[in-house]
Structure 1
Amino acid sequence: MINTLIKAVKQSLAKKITTWVMSVLMVLVLLIVGGAHWITTNFYQEHLENEVEERLRAHTEILLAEQRGEDIYQYLNQLEAGKNSYLIMTDSEGRLLFSTDNVLTAFIEDYLEFIETAKVRLEAVDEDVMIDEVKMQMAFHIPHVWGAAVIRNDEGEATGYVFIDQDTEELNSARLKLLLLLVVMGAITLGVGYVLVSYLTRKISNPLNEMSQRTEDIAKGDFDIELYVTGKDEVGRLGENIRQMTIQLKEFRDSRRQFISHISHDLRTPITYIKGYSALMKDATQAEQEDWRRHLSVIYEEAKRMENLVSDLFLLTKLEEGKIQLEVAPLYVRSWMEALIESRAIMFDQKEITASLTIDPKLENTTVMLDSFRVAQALINLLENAIRFTPVGGKICLACYLEEDNVVFKVTDTGEGMDKKTTTYIWQRFYKGDPSRSRNNGGTGLGLAIVKQIAEAHDGFVNVTSEPGEGSSFYMYIKAK
């Protein structure tokens, strides 16, 4: 049973916190009560010893100054009245001369025996007063204080002894009431502390338990969960982080599934062509040169398509993982961009597209810091994308200008245009929301995703504006350095 309880405490954060806090509170209460017991015992004991000593000295002075008789004895009896004490006086031989009215006969023998002992000790140390304690059988009771003082004449000879037994019942009762009050307050503190700690730990542990259960579900692959944790404290922020993590994991899962689906489809198609035409050539009984040339042409184009797909995918993966080191260097943009336009001249001519280049006058004689090879890759992807969706006789404009702290590259076409839904997802790899973005257009579905990653590698971003039937404008912003 105890082992089960200990195991439950170890496995529960709330029980751990409750156990530790209650243990600390209990130790503090015990220290307070124990400290109060020790302080009050020593304080009252020292106070009584000093008081008894002063009274013994005062009584010896009275007995020396006054003639011993019934009057002086009555006076002593009145002085001790109400002090919860017992007083006796003996002669130098230890014979009883006087006792207060409250002294019981049964106690006198013990008192006389103490006086005999005191006589020896007082002579040995040459003192007039001796104080001692008598332990009580009752627990937590302050010891009685006994004291004896010698009465000396002018020659210093002992003529008698005064003895006082100070009862501590009254003081002990007050002390016990104080200790009882502290114990009750300590018990109330422990009770209130337990309730508060239990409430607070449950308030903390319940959301943690829920988050723990949800993370177990996430670990098993269930991302369609609802986590109800509110607040702006650490627990609330942790719950919000788990929610965001779940959303990202779900997006990653969906993206991975889409990626596998897209890559499987885009690879299966050229493989099917290659396999089919290869089978035709293998099984042909007669080799027609024209047919073979046509078949080989298809096989070559599909193999090239596969190569481009794998190359683009490899480049995009390296860009996303930040494994490509940019080689940034100063660059005059006009001659560089003219070369880009010229490199795609044949593609423009094939569709009779008019291409133009516009350079901001501020950049005519100014260098721009960028990786010319990677940015050229991005711009070529944008140009080829524009050529692909621009009809015969259309126009494409490549522009470069400054906007605030950015160098902006803009590619505008007079093609088909896109709706708002398409422009939202166009930068995702393999996105083919528009039927026109099919394999018949010759793209891999990765070009715009690569443009986005290259821009972000330069601390920039991308944008697109488009309307169906009115063409599109693609923007690539690069931080000016």
Structure 2
Amino acid sequence: MLPKNLSSRITAWVMLILLLSVIILIIGANWITKNFYQEHLTNEVTGRISSHAQLLEKDVGELVIEYIEQIETDKKSSFLILDKDLNITYLSEKVTDAKLHHFLSWINDNVGLVTADEPTVDRVDTSIRFHIPHVWALMPIVAGGEEEITGYVFLDQDTGDLNQAQLKLLYLLAIMGIITFVVGLVFTKYLTKRISKPLNQISETTKKIAEGNFDIELAISGEDEVSRLANSIQSMTKQLKQYRDSRRHFISHISHDLRTPITYIKGYSAVMKDTVKDDKDDWKQNLNVIYKEATRMENLVSDLFLLTKLEEGKIKLEKEKVPVASWLKSIYESRALMFNQKNIKHRLNIQDACKELIVFMDAYRLEQAIINIVENAIRHTPKEGEIELSLYKKSEQIIFSVRDTGSGINNKDLPHIWERFYKADTSRNRVINGGTGLGLAIVKEIVEAHGGKVKVASKVGEGTTFSIYLPLQVT
């Protein structure tokens, strides 16, 4: 059974594969060398015994036998010379009685297979493991020209030297295998430990993240897969932290913004409950406050519902061909009363190239976006200030611009103004200003749904400019 620890499992598998590889290598080397040497010996013995038979065909004298004996002594082999009835006429000194018994038994079994032209060659295994088999050969001695067998020559080739070479090779492979196994074990242990260390760190970190600790950081460097995983987890952690903070802020802001009108509604309802019905002026004033606060609650919930659907992509744009100049002019004129109530100077600038321009867009949703920006500018522009609404074309884009001379926005706040309920000025009273805190977030979602983008440039004390860039679609 494999261990549960990842590094131990990897080490076990690598060691198992390495061990099997070493075993297969040694077995394969033994088989190859054994067959190679055996084939080499068989060919050599066949050639030698054929030569001996040819010499003995010509002369069976002592000089020829001494010559053959000398050759076979150097080859560490032994031989027999037999007559046609298999009676021994010459026997090497190396042959013992036990060997001779085996030789004669084999000769009697194989003499019927001998032909005049080819010797009978056999490989005789020993009981020794990894030992190369002996090569035994029997060749007839034929009388010259008559092809009559007059005797036989038998040759036993010892394989001791070749076995020594083979065993040395196997020992060398075994030693190399053991060294490889040990080095592999050490290297695998080191490698798996190095790999598992950051993984263990990531595991511990994810546990803390699961417990709600989003401030933790992973100190894992590099460009490998583990580092990329750590970076992804770190990025996920930051997003979770932003989500947590955003959720907290959302709950805090929505609770505050709902509590205020609910408090007003509850308070004035209580007053009305205890007020004499005949006091119509007080009742009308109280009902007016209740109506305004209920309207604020309705607008807040409506904006929140719209923003959620825009973020989820559940609102489908209803695009149509719109004469953009007259459309923008009607929006500008609908807010003229609000400009005048604060004595704000205002003007509409439409580039000549846009006056007859027809744009394919969702007029209703973009009107929401433009109105949100304009009303935001009106809220934050003081009396006698200026607001300019512009439309112009640049390359393949149309640009709506709203510039005001209001209080401006700090640079540190600019990246956050698109967030829900974000307050650049924490002292600002939203009851007085009348906004829901969702307007700019809605603007961003509507513009991006059209494939455009919205930018803001601002300087504290001088004013702010919002610019909506839309791709020019006239189809």
Name the aligned partner's letter for residue 56 of structure 1: I
Aligned 1:16-415 pairs, distance under 5 A: 16-66=9-59, 68-122=60-114, 129-154=119-144, 155-285=146-276, 287-415=278-406
Q: Give, in angstroms, the shift of residue 420 of structure 1.
A: 2.5
State the Cα distance separating 1:269 from its structure 2 match. Answer: 0.7
Letter of the 2:468 partner, please give it: M
TM-score, length-scaled by structure 2? 0.93
For residue 265 of structure 1, report the CA deviation from its aligned partner. Answer: 0.6
State how far apart, in whole Å, the 2-side matches of 1:479 and 1:106 are.
105
Work out whether 1:478 is the aligned partner of 2:431.
no
Query: Does the residue aligned with 2:233 lie in a helix, a strand or coil?
Result: helix
**Matches of 1:116 and 1:420, distance apart in 2:** 111
Secondary structure of 1:326 counterpart: coil
Query: Distance between the aligned counterparts of 2:121 and 2:385, measured in 1?
Result: 122
Q: 1:387 to 1:106 in 2, by over 3 A?
A: closer
User: Do the aligned partners of residues 106 and 296 (structure 1) sit closer, same or farther apart at CA in structure 2, a change above 3 Å counting?
Assistant: closer
- TM-fit CA distance, 1:126: 7.0
Aligned amino acid, residue 466 of structure 1: S
The aligned residue for residue 451 of structure 1 is 443
Which sections of structure 2, spanning at least 5 residues, go unmatched? none
Partner of 2:434: 442
**Is the 2:116–2:140 Cα contact (8 Å) retained in structure 1?**
no
C-alpha deviation, 1:348, in angstroms:
2.1
In the TM superposition, what is the alpha-carbon distance from 1:457 to its structure 2 partner? 1.6
Shift of 1:127: 6.6
Q: 8 Å contact 1:432–1:438 — kept in the other structure?
A: no
The AA in structure 1 aligned to 2:232 is N
- Which stretch shifts more, 246-255 or 279-288? 279-288
2:263 partner amino acid: T
Q: Distance in 1 between matches of 2:204 and 2:62?
A: 92
Say if 2:116 and 2:142, in contact at 8 Å, map to a contact too. Answer: no
Q: 1:376 deviation in Å?
A: 0.8
Q: Give the aligned residue type for 1:439.
A: V
- 2 CA distance for matches of 1:153 and 1:147? 20
SS of 1:72's equivalent? helix
Measured in 1, the distance between the counterparts of 2:276 and 2:319 equals 58
Distance change in 2, residues 1:416/1:93 (3 Å):
closer
Specify the SS of the correspondent of 1:358: strand
TM-score under structure 1 length normalisation: 0.92
Q: How far is 1:121 from its partner?
A: 4.1
CA positional deviation for 1:285? 4.6
Checking the alignment, whether the CA contact within 8 Å between 2:382 and 2:406 is kept in structure 1 is yes
CA displacement, residues 32-83 of structure 1 (integer Å, 9 cap, x when unaligned): 22111112212222222222222222111111112x2322221221121211
Q: Secondary structure at the match of 2:74?
A: coil
- Deviation of residue 392 (structure 1)? 2.8
Per the TM alignment, residue 105 of structure 1 is displaced from its structure 2 partner at its CA by 4.8
* Contact 1:89–1:162, Cα closer than 8 Å, also in 2: yes
RMSD of the alignment, in Å? 2.1
CA distance in 1, matches of 2:311, 2:369: 15
Distance 2:138 2:248 in 1: 101
> What is the CA-CA distance between 1:416 and the residue it aligns to?
2.7
